[in-house]
Structure 1
Amino acid sequence: MAISQVTEVIRIRSKVLAEIARMAYEDCLEKDIGNMMDTIVSEDGPRYRCCVHKERAVLRQRINLTLSQPLHVTQEEAAAGALAGKVEDMPFISVLPEACDQCPIDKYMVTDACRNCLAHNCINSCPKQAILVVQNRAYIDKTRCVECGLCKKSCQYGAIIEISRPCERVCAVKAIVAGGDRKAVIDHEKCVECGACREACPFGAIGDRSLLVQVIRQIKSGKQVYAMLAPAFAGHFGAKTRPGQLVNAIKQLGFHEVIEVAYGADIVTIKEAKEFLETVPKSRPFMTSSCCPAFVSMVEKHFPDLKDMVSSTVSPMLAAAQIIKNNNPDAVIVFIGPCIAKKSEARNHSDLVDFALTFEELAAMLTGKGIDIDTIADSGFQSAASGTGNGFACAGGVAKAVQAAVAGLEPLAAVISHNAAGLENCAEVLTQIQSGRLKANFLEGMACYGGCIGGPGGLANVRVASKLVDNFAKQSTAKNALDNGPAQTDSEKPGHWHRQSKQ
């Protein structure tokens, strides 16, 4: 398996996940959970914090978050709760308080470039008189500073710099700030759980809670547990790993069946194309995609006046789950992909999807059970989805699929599509379309750069993964959704095909 930029943060997170998965499979989680402290953190190091006690405090919170249990309980209590199927009512993205303590809180700083010039533009521009000259150099009095940034703008030397925490800097919706105790605080009323802050934090102080143990518990209970693989799966487990090998490896984990979410993408493509033809421009000037839960959440929370522009069609994950439920109402359904936001979407649609895991968590399950994909036989897997359905994983893929379907349904219809990847870009494009500066009547919005393939729960470099997905998509028998007869038939069956806004 190919993993891009393996940092110490990723190593520790993967080790915790794999060890917990191993103990869950071997039925020794509650008994041996306490041993993880000595296994991962010892007096001999390696040391990332000030002392072994700090290391263990951080690890304790990381373990509890992985078990989806309260951060303050003991490891034994957390293990017992996870095995009992309990899940703490908490957001999927959380700050580990013990780990978050090493980022500076001062936003503006005077550097050695300050020459104590005669103009003193910084002093004159400050509305709070927070800048003084101390030892022949400007000094910012933090008790008066309101961090307006006027001093930085006025300094002709560029001697005043702005410092922002990595987590704050990457949050497009400004949902994370430094609290009074220097620890990051997430405003969950603004947060869309995209996971960008988790990836940006160099101290591993932000994590996503996992339902890995709860999934293994369902498998070991003998229930028919279905794995739904996101379209990005073809690009995240290495160029030498064949899809058939991955599918067989997942079945060795105990999953009853493996279903492609890309098949659900074909259904969504057909329905979104019909929705576009029915509503644009008759009842709305443009329509956006609805497959990315973080993008949809951003529109609903931060662009509420545009929420009616979002497609009413469910995401490919929910469409694929509906097909499974139609055939097996008692199925336990687990989505597996590179997306963290899918965890909250699954929580909000628990009638269809029981759990959501990332590729990182799937890799940990394989490691924990001692399964090496490279040694698994290739079953000669053939995708049930079209080429454009598999292309949903990459930026521009949804727009391409919908445009092809619209052209097939009504050749004279004019689709002016645009795709935006990254929430900042999505916000900018939404504003431009709304103001008329950008002419587009269909927008594909993706929270992650590169599209779903670039999700924070992935394993591979975006560029390499995109190429692998593209190669896999070209092998599909059906070129686009309208060529996929079974998907067209399933799209006409009864089911929950319309998403419900959470606002």
Structure 2
Amino acid sequence: MANISEAVKIRREVLKELAKKAFDGTLKDTVRDILYTVVTDDGPRHRCCIYRERSILEERVHLALSQPMDIPLELAAAQALQGKIAKGPVMSMLPSACDRCLADKFMVTDACRNCLAHHCIVSCPKNAIFTVRNRAYIDREKCCSCGRCKTACSYSAIVEIKHPCEHACEVQAITAAPNKKAVIDHEKCVACGACKTACPFGAIGDRSVLVQVIRTLNKRRTYAMLAPSFVGQFGVKVTAAQVVAALRKAGFYAVAEVSVGADWVIAREAAEFTEQVPASKPFMTSSCCPAFVGMIKKHAKEYEEHLSTTVSPMVALARLLKEKDPEAVTVFIGPCIAKKAEALAYPADVDFVLTFEEAEALLTGAGLQAAMMPDEAMGSQATASGNLFAIAGGVAQAVAQAVQAQDGEVTVTACQSEGLEACQAMLKQLKKGELTVNFMEGMACSGGCSGGPGTMNDVRVTQRLVKNFSQTARCGS
């Protein structure tokens, strides 16, 4: 398993405590006990005092219940148990948790040699650098943070201090003014989750519907839709059959593979490509990554005409399930936070979204461990191509193969990009004709879905396990 920080441990402990209380029916009356179970009087201490720790924890519980921060915790629990979900963005700042990181600035370190050339002083357009006692100093009042001094220094003695969350956001949706709490601009945010992963204080989180999902189990026919990267998320040696058995025992009516939806997407996207490229447009992009789609729609509208109109595998599978069972409640379980935002755009198809982290908490709350479930031979119900959607490059490869199979005269020359900033750069190259390709796969996360912020395992391990599981597919393509 990947290394786990203290912030992640606390977040997971909160989810597990909520799940336990939801399953045993005591959540409404004992929800406040979580504050004293997770933050005990004996420590350890991560903040200035136990009171602030519990204040932050209370905000975290509100977010995990998908309820407003300004209502009593007991009311928040009651409303979650009733199935209520407060309106609002997927990503949120925990008001008390942000540590007001140092303002972005350049600092002169002890590596400064007070050299004769003084390249830092010469390069500064604001005359903000001077020497005192054989060392360079930066006048904060004059500094414009252009970074020229850092580039000019021969000793790399000037370093840049950045807010982790602001630095991680590749769509500039977070601002952190000096000595002020960071703020998320939800008009720009695409819910990729990079800021949540980057924040060392755990001050950014995504709302959860864990309790609302538990409420539906055994009451309605609730289907778990497992993303292709589920293999290995509940333990490296835990098999697919054990994961399915654990979810069924926890109360899910049935478990389906999202890779089946990916197979539908492959066929539809290939047909769309054949119809439109190059007849209507010179190139087309994938549409399965909601953060990539959101980036285009919010930050690069000039490329929206190139975006595939095919729905994602999650939505495709949800529609297939509801066609067969109109009473079905669909719950996507995967590595992606942006899927929570995507589900809001398809309320008739996808009812709930859980990350693997939340699904693990659900199983723990039900008193289950996937590793202890009976094992049996189980192959994927989808193709190998559908399973490989979880790995960067898998979508492009699958579409290229499908187009070739549908129409041998059409050739797909594909490229793929990981990270939203890199995706924007590649789109610009495509628009200018600097890349001679006609299909682009865009993924917000490094490694593709297998590297998403809701994963429980190292991306390299996950990719290897996904490839192994894809070999059990019902057919090889």
TM over 0.5: yes
Q: Distance in 2 between matches of 1:403 and 1:151?
A: 48
- Which residue is 2:294 aligned to? 297
Partner of residue 464 from structure 2, selected from 455, 467, 489:
467
Partner of residue 311 from structure 1, selected from 308, 319, 336:
308
The answer to whether the Cα contact below 8 Å between 2:232 and 2:238 also exists between their aligned partners in 1 is no
Q: Distance in 2 between matches of 1:224 and 1:390?
A: 25
Give every structure 1 segment of 4 or more consecutive aligned residues whose post-TM-superposition deviation is greater than 6 Å.
none
- Which residue is 2:329 aligned to? 332
The code of the aligned residue for 1:211 comes to: V
SS in 2 for 1:55: helix
Partner of residue 88 from structure 1, selected from 80, 86, 89:
86
Question: How many residues are aligned here?
Answer: 477
TM-score by length of 1: 0.91
The answer to whether the Cα contact below 8 Å between 1:342 and 1:356 also exists between their aligned partners in 2 is yes
Partner of residue 404 from structure 1, selected from 389, 401, 411:
401
User: Offset at 1:180?
Assistant: 4.2
The answer to whether the Cα contact below 8 Å between 1:235 and 1:466 also exists between their aligned partners in 2 is no
Q: Where do residues 271-420 of structure 1 align in structure 2 (5 Å cutoff)? A: 271-420=268-417
CA deviations 1:51-85 (Å, max 9, x no partner) are 11121111111111111112233321221221222
When structure 1 is superposed on structure 2, of 121-130 and 38-47 the one drifting more is 121-130
Q: Distance in 1 between matches of 2:257 and 2:157?
A: 54
User: Offset at 1:470?
Assistant: 0.5
SS in 2 for 1:245: helix
Establish whether residue 73 from structure 1 lines up as the match of residue 80 from structure 2. no
- Which residue is 2:152 aligned to? 154
When structure 1 is superposed on structure 2, of 432-441 and 379-388 the one drifting more is 379-388
- Which residue is 2:15 aligned to? 17
When structure 1 is superposed on structure 2, of 448-457 and 423-432 the one drifting more is 423-432
CA deviations 1:427-473 (Å, max 9, x no partner) are 22212222222211111111111111111101111111111110111
TM-score by length of 2: 0.96
Partner of residue 192 from structure 2, selected from 179, 191, 194:
194
SS in 2 for 1:362: helix
User: Offset at 1:125?
Assistant: 3.8
When structure 1 is superposed on structure 2, of 283-292 and 328-337 the one drifting more is 328-337
Q: Where do residues 39-118 of structure 1 align in structure 2 (5 Å cutoff)? A: 39-101=37-99, 103-117=101-115
User: Offset at 1:15?
Assistant: 0.6
Q: Distance in 1 between matches of 2:173 and 2:421?
A: 13
User: Offset at 1:90?
Assistant: 2.0
CA deviations 1:133-159 (Å, max 9, x no partner) are 444433223233332223323334433
Structure 2: give runs of 5+ residues left out of the alignment: none
The code of the aligned residue for 2:432 comes to: S
Establish whether residue 440 from structure 1 lines up as the match of residue 440 from structure 2. no
The code of the aligned residue for 1:212 comes to: L
Q: Distance in 1 between matches of 2:310 and 2:431?
A: 21
- Which residue is 2:447 aligned to? 450
CA deviations 1:15-65 (Å, max 9, x no partner) are 100000011111111100111111111221011111111211111111111
Q: Distance in 1 between matches of 2:104 and 2:473?
A: 54
Please give the root-mean-square deviation of Cα atoms over the aligned residues, in Å.
1.7
User: Offset at 1:196?
Assistant: 1.1
Q: Where do residues 412-431 of structure 1 align in structure 2 (5 Å cutoff)? A: 412-431=409-428
The code of the aligned residue for 2:286 comes to: S
Q: Distance in 2 between matches of 1:331 and 1:79?
A: 25
Q: Distance in 1 between matches of 2:188 and 2:105?
A: 22
The code of the aligned residue for 1:92 comes to: V
Establish whether residue 476 from structure 1 lines up as the match of residue 452 from structure 2. no
The answer to whether the Cα contact below 8 Å between 1:388 and 1:401 also exists between their aligned partners in 2 is yes
SS in 1 for 2:31: helix
Q: Distance in 1 between matches of 2:360 and 2:229?
A: 14
CA deviations 1:302-326 (Å, max 9, x no partner) are 2110011110100000100110111
- Which residue is 2:211 aligned to? 213
